[in-house]
Amino acid sequence: MSGARFSLFGHRVSLLASIGMAIIAANLLVALFAPLIAPFDQAEVLGDAWADPDPQHWLGLDNLGRDLFSRMIYGARMSIGLALVITCGACAIGIVTGFTAAVSGGWIDTLLSRLVDLLLSMPTLIFAFVVLSVLGTAIPVLIATIAILESTKVFRLSRAVAMNLAAMEYVEAARLRGEGLWWVISREILPNAQAPLVAEFGLRFSFAFLFVAALSFLGLGVQPPAADWGSMVRDYRDMINLDLPAPLYPAGAIAVLTIGVNFVVDWMLAIHARSQGEGA
């Protein structure tokens, strides 16, 4: 299973990583072109609840008579889109603050590190429950809440990586030349920290994706009539007792995409570990 199939950026891609990339690409295409692919609108009622599959409705109808196949497609757009936005926000916050703490040091490092420690000391799910219960479950609130919570993990990694790089001679030389904080971060540290940060982006995406699904399953995530895979599992979960496969479709989609992302992240981490070993 470890044989290479092709090369990417000068590195051989393993079979599992190839499978992961194919899964990610397929899901992204579905999410991007959901209105063109879905045969019906996600909220359109088309017939009786739990009608059997037919040539027009490939997966049948759901509990309200909506096309299940169309809701799966629109659910991909919502679930993946939210996870991507959250991950980008979390990485932007975590990388900037982590690098700033590592390069500045002193009271700035202490203040940012203690703030992150405070957030990490709280159970993530409970903290999200409290915030969403008070501020509501609007999409912007959901994105901001999860992005801030996930940024704490990115901060820890970014700070650790940046502290190692900040001790390098080329960074010291830049400081002696009088270069500013932003220049040192963007020109000297960030280019040399890309490999672990890209891998961390993949991990954060998986966690954000599962976090959104969990909150939707518990009723605090995406609200109806919008479709996302977590809320679909919640809405259809009782049908498993009636031998209907409806809840298995969104649950399987969540599992497959998460596994695909992890395949790619594992490959990237292996590349980083090899490059670190060669550099040593």
What are the pLDDT digits (tens) for 8-22? 656 688 899 999 999
Query: What pLDDT score was predicted for residue 3?
Result: 46
Query: What pLDDT score was predicted for residue 277?
Result: 61
**pTM (predicted TM-score):** 0.89
Please state at what angle helix 15-32 crosses helix 68-104, rounded to 10 degrees: 110
Query: What pLDDT score was predicted for residue 36?
Result: 95
Tell me the average pLDDT of the chain. Answer: 89
CA distance 179 to 160: 22
Which regions of the chain are under pLDDT 70? Answer: 1-11, 275-280
- Count of all residues that appear for the chain in the document: 280
CA distance 275 to 223: 45
201: left (phi over 0), alpha (psi -120 to 50) or beta: alpha
Our measurement of the distance from residue 127's CA atom to the centroid of its chain's CA atoms, rounded to an integer in Å, reads 19
Other C-beta atoms lying within 10 Å of the C-beta of residue 235: 20
What are the chain's domains? Answer: 31-279 (1.10.3720.10)
Query: What pLDDT score was predicted for residue 178?
Result: 79
Query: What pLDDT score was predicted for residue 1?
Result: 43
Phi, psi torsion values for 4, nearest 5 degrees = -80, 145
What are the pLDDT digits (tens) for 147-167? 999 999 999 999 999 988 887
Query: What pLDDT score was predicted for residue 10?
Result: 60
Cβ contact 266:242 at 8 Å: no
CA distance 183 to 175: 10
